[in-house]
Amino acid sequence: MEIKIIKTKTDYKNALLRVDALFDAEENTPEGDELELLVTLIEKYEAKEFPMPEPHPIEAIKFMMEQQGINDKELGVIIKSRSRVSEILNLKRPLSLGMIKKIHEHLKIPADILIRDYELSV
């Protein structure tokens, strides 16, 4: 198959079909190289055509807490402010720069997500 840049929905569908056919290709073979190149082209097309919105900072924290089995009390230990956790998770108080740094380090949430502005509930 000739590999070309994916510009249309038809190109995209054809690339997906080809990836499906090559799915079990061995690495460092012509088929494996073709698979890797097609996946890269598909990812580029999807990022352009189907952009994913950045998650809300607090929703990202809640999600990672759940994924890592961390409860509110443990988050309080991480941010060194157990009394603030409920306020932060309920959008009553913003994250401080120090909290952002600690959450980024412990929960592995990208800092650019945590520093985004968001509305507090009053």
Residue 107 lies in a domain: yes
Residues 67 and 29 in one domain: no
Q: Which amino acid is at 86?
A: S
- The reported pLDDT for the residue numbered 82 is 87
Residue 19 lies in a domain: yes
Residue 119 lies in a domain: no
Provide the 8-state DSSP code for 27: T
Residue 102 lies in a domain: yes
At 41-51, the pLDDT tens digits run: 999 999 999 99
Q: How many domains does the chain have?
A: 2
Find the helix packing angle between 97-107 and 72-79, rounded to 10°: 120
Q: Which domain holds residue 43?
A: 9-49
Residues 45 and 90 in one domain: no
Upper half-sphere CA count for residue 21 (Cβ side, 13 Å): 10
Give this prediction's pTM: 0.63
At 87-113, the pLDDT tens digits run: 999 999 999 999 999 999 999 999 999
Rg (CA), the chain: 21
